[in-house]
Amino acid sequence: MSELQHECGIAAIYHLPGRQVSPLCPEQGPDEVSRLMPRMLLDIQNRGQLSAGISTFNPERNQLIDTFKELGGVSEVFRLSHRGKAESLMKEYAGRAAIGHVRYATCGAEDRSYAQPFERHHIQKHKWFSFAFNGQLANYPQLRQELLADSDNYLARETDTEILMHLISRELSDGDKPSLIDVMRNISHNFDGAYCIVLVNALGDMLVARDPLGVRPLCYAKEGPLFAAASESVALLNLGFQAESIHDLEPGFAITITDGRFEIEPFVTSTGTAHCFFEWVYFANVASKLDGRSVYLSRTALGKELAALETVPIDADTIVVPVPDTSKAAADSMAFELGVPSFEGLIRNRYSGRTFIEGSGNRKRKAETKYTPLRDVLEGKRVLLVEDSIVRSTTMKVLLERIRKLGRAKEIHVRVACPPIVAPCFYGIDMSTINELFAPKFMGGGALTEQAQAAMAASLGADSLRYLPVESIARAIGFASERLCRACITGEYPTPCGRELYQVALLNARGESQGRTYETAVAGAG
């Protein structure tokens, strides 16, 4: 069985009823607001590069809901470099409401059937729906087993998205046309983990929901008749919404549009948040603002934290170099605090995907062609190389070798704007096992020490290495630590199933198992 492994992006847009035409789409008009969806998905392409897709609603066509999705990036999927083909697609899938999705996966499941949105046909309009999902259900093994306990049930894919689809369908089949908010209220009690959902049905009703912990981000805006939502605020800002109109959907809340009525209400009580800190450190677009906290300013604060810990002698040959692109804000901030120049000593191939979002089989090969060291900048220098995080270390090892060989740097001191990643993630990031992670084998389950960092540096081929301490994260982002999910750097999980899976992962690590944590959990549940 392939494990669930995705960090995705979702979006939704709706032109509410009425004669007024939104100034954000004056040329297309209300019935073609779906044309804006590819633009939104481009702005959250950082969250997934394997596939992209949209579902649109149009009451004037026979196919009330129609879905288009393919493997590839947004530009490739929607033929944005070919005006005629792009226009043909936009005409065919024109609608007054649309949802969209970008996805990545790392092993197996690299076929179109896993691309989202997932559409469920039905003869009754309220049971015909399409939805997209960002997150991961930590209790996927249990939910899967419960569904398959009925021999009449069948699952075609190894993904929690299909589980969600069946649970939604089951709720829609109970009673007389349940409201979308009631559907969320009923299914949410089954979930342990992270989930942001966008859904549209054949009646033209829409649902946008965020889990009660707010693990994954979800923003929305409404100006006049136009409503839009997305995983990150940058997609709404670039669409033309005013910054003051963009809000974070509160954890445990859902937006519904039913018969043209727009409402925001809770579907479950939120007792606290567990925002994923890794969104600010790595995943999110630096131009985004998540839960009221700027990604850019958070990363500059991380750079200040690094500067405060620096002990390497600073002289005229010392430079700071970021690993492009997500480390640049932290590197520039660190350099400013230390009074040394920050240079782009590494040039990134813009057409190479993020190696953390690549399959393990080709990650090393991708890393070798991803960055080009600039000898004119690096030669003879003491380089403070700033990276946002080290997960598996494949990229870093290759990068250091290339900086020494091609860049001819005198010294390389790696500075990581994040604590060591020591535990898996079961809420939407592809880190399922302890043995695949770089840091745990050096830390031995204990605290981060100077000796451990020296051993890591030697393993990587660096002259020294320094991580940030765990407490730096809350300070930099501006949230109290108890409001963040820091499971991957502390081993402390915010949900019961997350804690159970971590115990499975620890047992696997002690046995040097190569299996994914979910595989073991499913086998144990059988």
Write 299-302 long-range contacts (CB < 8 A, 24+). 299/326, 299/327, 299/329, 299/330, 299/333, 299/388, 299/417, 299/476, 300/329, 300/330, 300/332, 300/333, 301/333, 301/475, 301/476, 301/477, 301/478, 302/330, 302/333, 302/417, 302/418, 302/468, 302/472, 302/476
Whether the pLDDT of residue 344 is over 50: the answer is: yes
Looking at the fold, whether 111 and 218 belong to one and the same domain comes out as: yes
* Phi, psi (degrees; rounded to nearest 5) at 466: -140, 130
Looking at the fold, whether 15 and 127 belong to one and the same domain comes out as: yes
Confidence of residue 198 (pLDDT cuts 50, 70, 90): very high
Residue 454: give the domain boundaries.
292-525
Whether the pLDDT of residue 473 is over 60: the answer is: yes
Confidence of residue 445 (pLDDT cuts 50, 70, 90): confident
Whether the pLDDT of residue 2 is over 80: the answer is: no
Whether the pLDDT of residue 250 is over 80: the answer is: yes
Looking at the fold, whether 297 and 253 belong to one and the same domain comes out as: no
Looking at the fold, whether 117 and 202 belong to one and the same domain comes out as: yes
Structural domains in the chain (count): 2
DSSP class of residue 431 equals B
Looking at the fold, whether 174 and 76 belong to one and the same domain comes out as: yes
Looking at the fold, whether 344 and 485 belong to one and the same domain comes out as: yes
Q: Rg (Cα) of the chain, in Å, rounded?
A: 23
Helix (H) or strand (E) run with residue 443 in it: helix 440-443
Confidence of residue 351 (pLDDT cuts 50, 70, 90): low
- The Cα–Cα gap between 491 and 481 comes to 14
CA dist 44 → 96, 112, 197, 208 (Å): 21, 20, 15, 17
User: Coil, strand, or helix at residue 207?
Assistant: strand
Mean pLDDT of 150-176: 88
Looking at the fold, whether 251 and 314 belong to one and the same domain comes out as: no
Q: Half-sphere exposure of 43 toward its Cβ, with a 13 Å CA cutoff?
A: 21
Whether the pLDDT of residue 521 is over 90: the answer is: no
Given the residues 8, 219, 485, 488, select the one marked as catalytic. 8
Residue whose tokens read 């007792």:
271
Give tens-digit pLDDT for 367-407.
Answer: 677 899 999 999 999 999 999 999 989 889 999 999 999 99
* Average pLDDT over the chain, rounded to an integer: 90
Mean pLDDT of 232-258: 97
Beta-bridge partner residues of 382: 318, 411
Looking at the fold, whether 335 and 247 belong to one and the same domain comes out as: no
Q: Which has the higher per-residue pLDDT, 159 or 12?
A: 12
Q: Half-sphere exposure of 496 toward its Cβ, with a 13 Å CA cutoff?
A: 5
| CATH code of 95's domain | 3.60.20.10
Mean pLDDT of 341-347: 96
- The token duo for 37 is 């969806």
Q: Is residue 284 part of a domain?
A: no
Mean pLDDT of 221-243: 96
Whether the pLDDT of residue 495 is over 80: the answer is: yes
pLDDT at res. 5? 43
Confidence of residue 518 (pLDDT cuts 50, 70, 90): low
**pTM tops 0.85:** yes
Show Cβ contacts of residue 178 under 8 Å, excluding neighbours closer than 6 positions.
171, 172, 186
Looking at the fold, whether 265 and 323 belong to one and the same domain comes out as: no
Give how far the C-alpha of residue 355 lies from the chain's centroid of Cα atoms, to the nearest Å: 14
Mean pLDDT of 329-335: 98
Among candidates 207, 131, 205, 116, which has minimal Cα distance to 164? 131
* Boundary of a domain, candidates 229, 246, 273: 273
Give tens-digit pLDDT for 66-123.
Answer: 999 999 999 999 999 999 999 999 999 999 999 999 997 644 456 788 899 999 999 9
219 labelled catalytic: no
* Boundary of a domain, candidates 273, 305, 327: 273
Question: What interhelical angle do 360-370 and 394-402 show, nearest 10?
Answer: 30
Question: Strands 129-137, 118-120: parallel, antiparallel or unpaired by DSSP?
Answer: antiparallel
